[in-house]
Amino acid sequence: MNPMTVTSLVLAMTMALFIWNKVPAAVVAVMSLIALYLTGVLTMREALSGFGDPLIVFIAALLGIGIGLETTGVGTWAGQWLIRHSGSSRKRLIASLLILSAVSTALIGMNGAVVAMLPIAVIICVQTQLAPSQLMMPVSIACLTGAKLTLLGSPVNVIASSAADALGGAPIRFFEWSIVGLPLFAGTLAIILILGPLLLPRRSSNSLPADFSQHAHTLVEQYRLADGVFRLRVRAGSPLIGKTLDSIDLSQYPGISVLGLTDDEGAELAQKDASEGHHLLVRGDAQGVARLANDLHLAIREPLSEAQAVTNALFNRSSGLAEVVIPPRSGLIGQTVFPGMATHEGDLIVLAIQRGGNNVPEPSTTLLAGDHLLLRGTWEALDKHFSDPQILMVDSPQTVRRQTIALSRGAREALVILAVLVILLATNAVPPAVATLICVTAMVLTRVITLNQLYTIDWNTCVLVGALIPLATAMSNTGLAYQIGDYVIQTVGSGGPRAVLAGLFFVAAVLTQVISNNSAALVTVPIAVATAQELGVSATPFLVAVALGAGAAHMTPMSTPVNLVTYGPGAYEFGDYWKIGLLIVLWSMAVVVFIAPLYWPF
């Protein structure tokens, strides 16, 4: 069979499976790769070349950097600042949230940004009594359009920029995307603010994500931790110097329990030796604490009498609280625990035990199934024990931390590394893949993220892109891309390059409503290149059109994770998307046709 015919059949089957959406997109892409190899259209080297492409390294490292920015609370800090300074105007608050969503997308990518913005949107809905359906879709739209402000916004931008570079021309550089991104977002913001209240449904939701903004305060009140908490400063000559938290024995002081060991700035020192100037947090009656301080040569600082002061001391950038339940058949059943004891590994402290919703009054107790324990430790320690089969954590520490802790440990390093990445990409000092590798390695070395966190990136995106690159190669090698491009030219070519530009945007925009935006871009890029070569014009404006078309996934919920994340919390139905989505797609086309060629001429 003719290689072009085979490639056409593989392309058609791939698109059909994408639209059917019953098989994971990454699996469909790998199946297309295998089919092209088995039918002899591609050699083994050509079929597997996509996984070794620098584009894959760039996207994977970029996703890792996004995790670092997200987990260090950069988005949370911005959201908390937004709520404090937006005032009482609902429109100003919504506009500020959408601008923040777009800027976050430009820096950490649209998938990470929409996850970071969702809890902020929840808080705004609760505080302003705004229907979630009026805000969730605008957040996803802002993330999708904000993705065109910088190269980092979306893998689609990277695909188009790499294609422009491969053709021998200059790649579309880091901030050049804002040439189309700024007018695109500005027009989108105006559409949402003016027409959104009319076109968006007014519907409540039963699937809003939990709001953890008062999580720590709730735990402190529920376990009644606010009474009798003292901060004791370790003096020179104290017998506690050189001891770790789990080796401090207060058994001679009944009724007094250890809550933690911190440095003079409040950072948790769970597994470090105590030294002069450190602070021991304890809970007990004033008389007993005074005797403890006198015996161990400790200076009593002011008692933490207010619940908020206790909350801040126990729940901060370095350490947090976690409520756990003892499940049936747990190995901990039958073990004796008491407030102030350290776990076996010494990295968590038991603050309180409850049974039947009440604190256990005895100094120590034997654990039963269903008992609740309140634990304190570093965020890293809480994350490590999250999957422990012997306990069930009520809430994910990582989720709580992302919503509540602004600019947590590593945030400063993450922002510096992000600035270095922007400079490297903007100046083209090194290839993009190398720049992102340098920066994601720096994040690991500075402990902004761990290797385990790095391994949690969305590998589906990497596999999808790597497996579809061979399909694009086959379309070019067999002439299929040129044939499709010729059809586009015959259909709209009489209107000139701008009409062809609009035609390519339309093809990509239609595809992205039913398949992922990355898939739509990878399928359409070779068509754009072939069309430009046949017309004898620069391919760059056509690649920009493909990128904007593939990113215009505003009319259906299933084509991008950005829409799916807000679909449930917004209580949307399938038919809700096209009403406002169509206007934004048309505005995107206007930006492509009238603005893109001004900077990237034919």
Spatial separation of the C-alpha atoms in residues 506 and 487, rounded to whole Å: 14
What pLDDT does residue 113 have?
Answer: 78
Letter for the amino acid at 540? T
pLDDT tens digits along 204-216: 776 666 667 777 7
Paired strand residues for 357: none
Mean pLDDT of 567-593: 87
pLDDT tens digits along 382-412: 888 888 888 898 888 877 877 777 777 788 8
**pLDDT confidence bin for 243, thresholds 50/70/90:** confident
What pLDDT does residue 53 have?
Answer: 81
Cβ burial, residue 146 (10 Å; 0-12/13-18/19+): buried
What pLDDT does residue 479 have?
Answer: 79
> Under CATH, what is the fold of the domain 319-404?
Alpha-Beta Plaits (3.30.70)
Strands 365-366 and 392-393: unpaired
- What percent of the chain clears pLDDT 90, i.e. is strictly above it? 18
Question: How many C-beta atoms lie closer than 10 Å to residue 413's C-beta?
Answer: 17
Average pLDDT, the chain: 82
**pLDDT confidence bin for 142, thresholds 50/70/90:** very high
Residues of the chain with CATH 3.30.70.1450: 215-313, 319-404
The architecture in CATH of the region 215-313 reads 2-Layer Sandwich (3.30)
What pLDDT does residue 261 have?
Answer: 78
What pLDDT does residue 187 have?
Answer: 95
- Dump the DSSP string for 417-447: HHHHHHHHHHHTSS-HHHHHHHHHHHHHHTT
**pLDDT confidence bin for 586, thresholds 50/70/90:** very high
Distances (CA, A) of 92 to 190, 385, 570, 598: 12, 42, 20, 32
DSSP-derived secondary structure letter, 157: H
Q: Phi and psi (nearest 5°) for 54?
A: -55, -25
- How many Å separate Cα 184 from the centre of its chain? 23
Helix (H, G, I), strand (E, B) or coil at 351: strand
Letter for the amino acid at 254? P
In a 13 Å sphere around the CA of 380, the CA atoms on its Cβ side amount to: 17
Spatial separation of the C-alpha atoms in residues 565 and 116, rounded to whole Å: 11
pLDDT tens digits along 302-325: 666 566 667 777 787 778 888 999
pLDDT tens digits along 148-205: 998 888 888 888 888 888 877 667 888 889 999 999 999 999 999 999 889 988 887 7
Paired strand residues for 230: 282
- In the numeric block, the tokens 């402990």 are attached to 447
Cβ atoms 519, 464 nearer than 8 A = yes
Query: Does the pLDDT of residue 218 top 90, yes or no?
Result: no
- Dump the DSSP string for 77-138: HHHHHHHHHS-S-HHHHHHHHHHHHHHHHHHH-HHHHHHHHHHHHHHHHHHHT--GGGTHHH
- In the numeric block, the tokens 């505005």 are attached to 587
What pLDDT does residue 265 have?
Answer: 63
**Of 345, 344, 352, 343, which is closest to residue 321 (Cα–Cα)?**
352
Burial string for 217-228 (b: 16+ CB within 10 Å, else e) reads: bebbeebebbeb
**Quick one: which H or E segment has residue 260?**
strand 257-262
Q: Please say whether the dihedral angle defined by the alpha carbons of residues 14, 16, 19 and 24, taken in this order, is positive or negative.
A: negative
Query: Does the pLDDT of residue 87 top 80, yes or no?
Result: no
